[in-house]
Structure 1
């Protein structure tokens, strides 16, 4: 029979891997401290949250946002062929400003239509807007420059993994040390916004992601049920072997050790467990009855957005004056069966985001939350017979109280094949708005000073004068940014 001292030594010296693997998000908690302290020390008084909704796989967004006037819809139909939606099928979007053109949205998106035209029929509550033909760029590119390769282009265009990384890093030429622009944002604002005690600013509901990886900060990975616990302990009986094992782990790390490394590891593990328990307690004790009924049943994306709404409502209790939340919806790589697949997936997406915005409104937090979509890339305008292939520029949505909704922003491309917007391969559109412009406007709202903008977005000077008194795109309401 081993002595208690031997057991402790074996645990600390040989079983560190086991302990860490049983808490997969432990590393994301290392910068966390008890939230009650942070709220009193935070140097800013307002609260702001950015929610990134990543559509993994490369969404065909030109069947999401469709030109509705006769001339442009005719071009769209000729180019898309068997994938085209009829002008009478799409739901009308009633612009108030924007580019003044007629557009419709996919018929599965009745909720987003309402968010665009006016929540509850109130045109003063236009919460959603679209950005057209946005994509990864190192600097502006014309078709002639693309064909001549006379300007630098993003690495490995049309590759899923590379383009996901580039949307999440905003450095399409590549980085020597990988970090996401949300992570660099946390590096910059982590202490100044959330106080001297460091609570994880970046929370992920989709596992580890590059977007929220910083050089000095980490992401906090959770589930829609809250923080993860040791080996799913909350689902085990009192006599279950894993629960007993976890109790033994906790007993061991409560001990005092003479070896500095052992003591540090034990204290770190203990603190991480306490902090995950603290987060879970806050999450579980929050009364979400006012918003739960707004969310659709049997909708896993909706469950994630409900969890996000709860985490936003808990910002003050957690001491987070600034936070980002990452949600992922995979499955958009529609080389086949585009029409049927999109109909079902957009219905799921629409129910979730509509419920989320209504919940934020119900909580009275609409002016402090902005949600935006991102995806690997756009897709070819031309059908491959049953779907579409990897391309470049696409459409994105941004929503929230700070958004000047009910408008289409950017330059909607010419959808004719071989146009000056087409690279020449089946309607691969060259972006006319860069992801840097998109993200820079979000950062202006979030409170990033001009002098620090290039720290988060290294290529921004190629597209926007950060000292400008105007916005790079203009989708934010006046008075909602600095």
Structure 2
């Protein structure tokens, strides 16, 4: 382990102070000094890994009532989409309760993670600005998220928590506050395996993109290539970039290109220096390959001089309006197996307690069948995985599955009882976000009485 000695701290303090005086990441010297004072010790590493289930996951077939009376209600409302009771994989929550639950039959690794205390279920979470009852919804008595049931609008709200004019996401705003804890200020705290996204975008911090195949580089511009023409091309390009000085925009563009070029080389070198992972990931699964790359990047954390990282991995399509009985099992199997492999990789790296993976999605889906699938709805269940998770437990409130219940606003669309602000704040508290910054990162959090849902260990 590297040590953060006093001379290194003095050097970093001086570099950050210089950045604050110019056009660096941070607005004021006072902010930098506060961040440095709160900087964790070098051996303190934590990462959050968001697995975003694009399309809107029908989680009512992911976590299913297993006890007879409740299963009968589920079966009646789900009709041709109901999972046979005998095929469900039972889970035993530590908090007990009269109702038993099971997981989808293709999620055996998730079942084992739950039994091992590495996985928890957050029940009926969704897009909320404030708590909503059925009467509130019908009477429009409280503010609602914009354009409920719309893919694009709800993806934006889940990631930004903004009612309108969303420009930053809650992971981006958290990184704006915390980015100075990383010694390496060139590499963004936020790394995406799925391109640009609002969730990781802040005012100063933006996601750095890689792919499951590796670090993105300038194609055909490798100065170490065996092809002499490519080497010459790269050298000419570098000369052009270094000589750009006639216009301020030209100079800035050249500087960005050179930083990106240097950073990609730094990342490749750091990854190449790490021993290969022995954990096997399903090679046919893009989600698994993306999570394998996340694990590789995490293994290079010391070489990269980072203490906090946030990863975004998109997976889908979960928009199962049709052919759900054939499409959904394969999706759940890929999710379960990829999460199982990632958990094993974190064990291999001895970082299980320092890395937490969790799911989000556009919205839940209707309890009712449209004949071949389900339609856009509201609340749904999420999974949280890691050694720091208070696992083998269900959090939040399971909804009533009877149609037209107090939880149902119509057609089996369930009102969420836990907000994404609460979900994110619980993760951010574990991650180390200062309490004074919660209001700026989670703008709706003050509307809810429970700020920490309890699924993370202290």
TM-score interval for Structure 1 and Structure 2 normalised by the shorter chain: 0.7 to 0.9
**2:266 matched to 1:281?**
no
**Residues 96 and 236 of structure 1: CA distance in aligned 2, closer, same or farther (over 3 Å):** same
Deviation per CA, 1:70-129: give whole Å up to 9, x if none: 1111110010001001211110112111656310000110100000011xxxxxxx1001
For residues 256 and 134 of structure 1, do their structure 2 counterparts lie closer, same or farther at Cα, with a shift above 3 Å needed? closer
Higher mean displacement: 246-255 or 210-219: 246-255
Question: In structure 1, what is the Cα distance between the partners aligned to 2:454 and 2:240?
Answer: 56
- Does 1:461 pair with 2:446? yes
**Structure 1 residues 258 and 218 mapped into 2: Cα distance closer, same or farther (>3 Å)?**
same
Per-residue deviation, 1:405: 0.4
Q: Secondary structure of the residue that 2:312 maps to in structure 1?
A: strand
Distance 2:223 2:286 in 1: 20
**Greater mean alpha carbon deviation, residues 439-448 or residues 176-185:** 176-185
Tell me if the contact between 1:93 and 1:113 (Cα under 8 Å) persists in the aligned partners: yes
Is 1:474 aligned with 2:429? no
Contact 2:115–2:392 (CA<8 Å) still a contact in 1? yes
Matching residue of 1:178? 167
Which runs of 5 or more residues in structure 2 are unaligned? Answer: 1-23, 26-35
Paired position in structure 2 for 1:88: 86
Distance in structure 2 (CA, Å) of the matches to 1:215 and 1:311: 24
For 1:60 and 1:213, the matched residues in 2 are separated by 27
Q: Secondary structure at the match of 1:88?
A: helix
Q: Which string of whole-angstrom CA distances, capped at 9 and with x for unpartnered residues, describes residues 127-174 of structure 1?
A: 001011100101000001101111111110000000000111122x22
From 363, 368, 373, the equivalent of 2:359 is 373
- Scaled by the length of structure 2, what TM-score is found? 0.87
Q: What is the CA–CA distance in structure 1 between the aligned matches of 2:260 and 2:294, rounded to whole Å?
A: 22
Structure 1 pair 74–433 and aligned structure 2 pair: CA distance change class (3 A): same
Tell me what 1:328 maps to: 314
Residue 359 of structure 2 aligns to a residue whose secondary structure is: strand
Q: Is the 8 A contact 1:179 1:215 kept in 2?
A: yes
Contact 1:205 1:224 in 2 (8 A): yes
1:376-424 superposed Cα distances (whole Å, 9 cap, x missing partner): 0000000000000000000000010110101111100000100000002
Please report how far the alpha carbon of residue 239 of structure 1 lies from its aligned counterpart in structure 2 after TM superposition: 4.6
Shift of residue 348, structure 1, vs aligned partner: 1.4
**1:215-274 Cα deviation digits (max 9, x unpaired):** 111110111232211126569975597775444212322447476665554344223211
Secondary structure, aligned partner of 1:132? strand
For 1:28-427, what aligned pairs fall within 5 Å after superposition?
43-45=39-41, 46-97=44-95, 99=97, 101-118=99-116, 126-171=117-162, 173-174=163-164, 176-191=165-180, 193-195=181-183, 197-231=185-219, 238-239=226-227, 245-255=233-243, 257=245, 262-291=250-279, 294-424=280-410, 426-427=411-412
Determine if contact 1:437/1:464 at 8 Å carries over to the other structure.
no
**Paired residues of 1:99 and 1:409 also in contact (CA < 8 A):** no
User: CA distance change for structure 1 residues 296 and 454 in 2, over 3 Å: closer, same or farther?
Assistant: same
TM value normalised by structure 1: 0.83
Aligned residues: 423
2:414 corresponds to 1:434: no
| Conservation of the 8 A alpha-carbon contact between 2:222 and 2:230 | no
Q: Does the CA contact (< 8 Å) of 1:108 and 1:343 recur in 2?
A: yes
Q: Matches of 2:367 and 2:228 in 1, distance apart?
A: 56
Residue deviations 1:417-466 (CA, integer Å, cap 9, x gap): 00000002x10000011111111100110111221101100110001466
8 Å Cα contact 1:226-1:283 kept in structure 2: no
Farther-moved stretch of structure 1 (62-71 vs 457-466): 457-466
Displacement of 1:349: 1.5
Tell me if the contact between 1:116 and 1:406 (Cα under 8 Å) persists in the aligned partners.
yes
Does structure 1 retain, via aligned residues, the 8 Å contact 2:160–2:169?
yes
Segments of 4+ in structure 1 off by > 6 A?
A: 234-237, 240-243
- For residues 310 and 203 of structure 2, the distance between their equivalents in structure 1, rounded to whole angstroms, comes to 16
Superposed displacement of residue 473, structure 1: 1.2
Q: What is the CA deviation profile of residues 273-319 of structure 1, one whole-angstrom value per residue up to 9, with x for unaligned ones?
A: 1111111221233212433xx21222221111110011111112111
Computed over aligned residues only, the root mean square deviation of the Cα atoms, in angstroms, reads 2.3
Unaligned segments of structure 1, at least 5 residues: 1-29, 32-39, 119-125, 467-471
